[in-house]
Amino acid sequence: MIVLGCNNISLSFGVTTILKDISFSINDTDKVGVVGVNGAGKSTLFKIIAGEYIPDSGEIYTAKNSKLGYLAQNSGLDSSNTILEEVLAVFSHFTEMESRIKDLEKSMSTEKDENQLNSIMKEYSRLTDEYARLGGFEYQSRAKGVLKGLGFEEDQFSLNVMNLSGGQKTRLALARLLLTEPDILLLDEPTNHLDIKAVEWLEEFLSNYKKCLMVISHDRYFLDKITNKTLEIENCECKLYNGNYSRYLNQKAVDREIQQRHYEQQQKEIARMEAFIEQQRRWNRERNIIAAESRLKAIERMEKIEAPKNLPEKIRIKFKSGFASGNDVLFVEGLGKSYPGKPLFKNVKFNIRKKERVFILGPNGCGKSTLLKILTGKIDDYEGSFRYGHNVNPGYYDQEQEGLNPNNTVIDEVWSADEKLTQTEIRNVLAMFLFKGEDVLKPVSTLSGGEKSRISLIKLMLSEANFLIMDEPTNHLDINSREVLESALADYDGTLLIVSHDRYFIDKLATRIIELGETSCIDFKGNYTEFHEYKSKLNSGSDNQSKNVKMTASKMEHIATKEEKARKRKLEKQLVETEKEITDTEARIKEIENQMTNEEVVSDHVKLVELHNELNELNLKLEQLYELWDNLMSENSR
């Protein structure tokens, strides 16, 4: 059943069009990922659906009696309640029932009239049954479970909401919203302020959510886990795809290829018809003029296929070290840090070798960013020691952008990183990061989080450091920019030490993972998927259980491999047959097109009609074959 629909929604701010003719519909159990570059209009669309913005044109449809819940980016709560009181307020109907039940219990203990007592007891029985049926005995444990899942410890439940940080308030707002269980749930960047453990809990919660979900996120791992549809907003327009983020990417590439091929095919057909028209006009006989006018009308009636629109421009990054470091890059010995009443970590020990790509993981508040600040000299009060190896030139990316001067213009801020460069060279570098024209004269203080991130990346690139130390470098970056950054770091010839919550990013790059704990750390060689499997086995129980898991997994993998090979062979055979049929069909089309330009055929109306009908059938067949080929290619690439 359709629970949400948008029909030709358009919105402009001044002369700038944000959304144009946005139309889609979503069913009551759909989980839709909303994707697009920063500034594409994703959050604006949510605000329109939630009623915060009024569109210039178009209509929003929601199913009758459906309840909508919306979490905006960085939305918080201002309340005098404690954390637990704030989420329990969602269940006010239960507290009202509890109060009424207590009143009835009191009345039963004092009522002397038997008829009146029977009446009270009936109401008491009905109310307690309803309380149990609706989940009255579980709601407090549910509320506490959601709070714990989103990273709140039990000793924090009594904290006043007014004293929480911005990130904590956003997490609390998310907890409240999840507990209300709206029929249409809109979440704008819900994984902001969550560590990996909390994100994985949220994935599990949303995977089991039985109602409609729309979520804006740049977390590709998260989108792949929970969504079954993807709504892309690009060039002010939208398109709804079946499948999660990875399937959407594949389908988008296939669709663009099909559209390009159909566009080229139609242009070729139009050019052929125009040549025919020109030829007929040159002959200038009555029947030639009639034939030319007929073809001209056919061109005018033709539904024109547009070429695929240009993809959004991507930033371009290339990190390169100015000189090579020694093989030993960093030695860390017994590092520890604590604040009064708040220990972060102690006895952290590890060494990093040249060209390793090391990621630091751990829950929020465990001191990951603090560790990087110690290693980069931003904090000098700590236990233990560290030292860099020979010829190491570290460069630091700070997620808080504290190294940027808010009073500088964009061009001056970047120029300060390498004053030897000319203005033209600086402008060329800025253009690589999408700062063009008047944008380079903007004050740093007016930039968005994403723009500041790009400035910091430029300065890091110009430093030519051979050891990059990066704290949450994907924060504020859209998916396109994250993918470019991944590629640039994968090609980098130096060494990496990175703090990140982006599991997709970690999986692509990590050769080693260090998980930070309060008294020790896990040092693991491998990427995130391998580390996650390792942690699962650690938590699975005894050695015998682990061996059984390995044996079962090995057997299942063998069976799956055999089935996959059989599937691939069958697909490859179908591909060969389909490609041959496409080649034969295209050859026949070309043969007919050549015949239709022959003067004898042109003058034979019956023959011309026969060829024209056959050509239409072949073009339809060719289109179906192309679609079959695309589906087979997509299936073969899985």
pLDDT tens digits, residue range 378-400? 998 999 999 999 999 999 999 88
**pLDDT (tens digit per residue) in 495-528:** 999 999 999 999 999 999 999 876 678 899 999 9
In a domain, 33, yes or no: no
The candidate with the shortest Cα–Cα distance to 453, out of 437, 434, 438, is 434
Query: How much is the pLDDT for 228?
Result: 95
Q: Does residue 479 share a domain with residue 343? A: yes
Query: How much is the pLDDT for 545?
Result: 44
Query: Cβ contacts of residue 6 below 8 Å, gap of 6+?
Result: 22, 23, 24, 25, 45, 49, 58, 59, 60, 61
Tell whether the model's pLDDT for residue 308 goes beyond 80. Answer: yes
In a domain, 422, yes or no: yes
Query: How much is the pLDDT for 303?
Result: 87
Query: How much is the pLDDT for 567?
Result: 67
Paired tokens of 162: 């007014």
52/559 Cα distance (integer angstroms): 53
Tell whether the model's pLDDT for residue 331 goes beyond 90. Answer: yes
178 close to 146: Cβ distance less than 8 angstroms: yes
Query: How much is the pLDDT for 541?
Result: 55
Query: How much is the pLDDT for 556?
Result: 42
The candidate with the shortest Cα–Cα distance to 238, out of 29, 44, 479, is 44
Tell whether the model's pLDDT for residue 75 goes beyond 70. Answer: yes
Dihedral, CA atoms, 341, 344, 346, 351, nearest 10 degrees?
-160
The residues with which 241 forms a beta bridge, in sequence order, are 230
Q: Does residue 334 share a domain with residue 289? A: no
Sign of the alpha-carbon torsion through 274, 278, 279, 284 = positive
311/181 Cα distance (integer angstroms): 37
Q: Does residue 338 share a domain with residue 264? A: no
Q: What is the arithmetic mean of pLDDT over 68-97?
A: 88
Query: Cβ contacts of residue 157 below 8 Å, gap of 6+?
Result: 82, 83, 84, 144, 147
Query: Cβ contacts of residue 469 below 8 Å, gap of 6+?
Result: 372, 375, 376, 394, 395, 396, 397, 497, 498
Query: How much is the pLDDT for 555?
Result: 46
Q: What is the arithmetic mean of pLDDT over 311-331?
A: 90
The helix (run of H) or strand (run of E) holding residue 553 is: helix 543-596
In a domain, 8, yes or no: no
Query: Cβ contacts of residue 354 below 8 Å, gap of 6+?
Result: 324, 325, 326, 327, 328, 329, 495
Tell whether the model's pLDDT for residue 436 goes beyond 50. Answer: yes
The residues with which 84 forms a beta bridge, in sequence order, are none
For residue 351, what is the domain's CATH number?
A: 3.40.50.300
139 phi and psi, to 5 degrees? -65, -35
**pLDDT (tens digit per residue) in 446-498:** 988 889 999 999 999 999 999 999 999 998 898 999 999 999 999 999 999 99
**pLDDT (tens digit per residue) in 546-583:** 444 343 444 444 544 565 576 677 778 888 888 888 88
Using a 10 angstrom Cβ sphere, with 0-12 exposed, 13-18 middle and 19 or more buried, the burial of residue 558 is exposed
The residues with which 388 forms a beta bridge, in sequence order, are 330
Pairing of β 2-13 and β 16-27: antiparallel
Query: How much is the pLDDT for 390?
Result: 92
Phi-psi region of 64 (alpha: psi -120 to 50; beta: other; left: phi over 0): beta
In a domain, 550, yes or no: no
Q: Does residue 483 share a domain with residue 381? A: yes
**pLDDT (tens digit per residue) in 197-206:** 999 999 999 9
State which residues form the domain around 110. 81-163
Q: Does residue 361 share a domain with residue 434? A: yes
Query: How much is the pLDDT for 219?
Result: 93
Q: Which of 94, 129, 163 is the last residue of a domain?
A: 163
Paired tokens of 289: 């003029």
Amino acid at 280: Q
CB atoms near residue 338 (< 10 Å) = 15
521 close to 346: Cβ distance less than 8 angstroms: no
Q: Does residue 335 share a domain with residue 289? A: no
CB atoms near residue 221 (< 10 Å) = 21
Q: From residue 111, how far is each of 16, 99, 152, 410 by CA, in Å? A: 72, 18, 45, 79
Q: Does residue 343 share a domain with residue 477? A: yes
Query: How much is the pLDDT for 490?
Result: 93
What is the number of domains present in the chain?
A: 4
Paired tokens of 105: 């219990």
Paired tokens of 586: 């295209």
In a domain, 98, yes or no: yes
Q: Does residue 613 share a domain with residue 472? A: no
487/480 Cα distance (integer angstroms): 11
Q: Does residue 374 share a domain with residue 285? A: no
Q: Which of 130, 148, 163 is the last residue of a domain?
A: 163
348 close to 332: Cβ distance less than 8 angstroms: yes
Pick the residue with more confidence: 518 or 304? 304
95 close to 168: Cβ distance less than 8 angstroms: no
In a domain, 394, yes or no: yes
Query: How much is the pLDDT for 471?
Result: 94
193/501 Cα distance (integer angstroms): 10
458 close to 414: Cβ distance less than 8 angstroms: yes
Going by pLDDT thresholds of 50, 70 and 90, the confidence category of residue 343 is confident
Paired tokens of 438: 């008047």
The candidate with the shortest Cα–Cα distance to 485, out of 449, 461, 452, 514, is 461
In a domain, 103, yes or no: yes
CB atoms near residue 89 (< 10 Å) = 14
Q: Does residue 400 share a domain with residue 290? A: no
Query: How much is the pLDDT for 636?
Result: 65
Phi-psi region of 541 (alpha: psi -120 to 50; beta: other; left: phi over 0): left
Q: Does residue 497 share a domain with residue 437? A: yes
User: What's the alpha-carbon Rg for the chain, to the nearest Å?
Assistant: 32
In a domain, 125, yes or no: yes
Q: Which of 469, 502, 526 is the last residue of a domain?
A: 526
Q: Does residue 471 share a domain with residue 344? A: yes
Query: Cβ contacts of residue 104 below 8 Å, gap of 6+?
Result: 120, 123, 124, 127
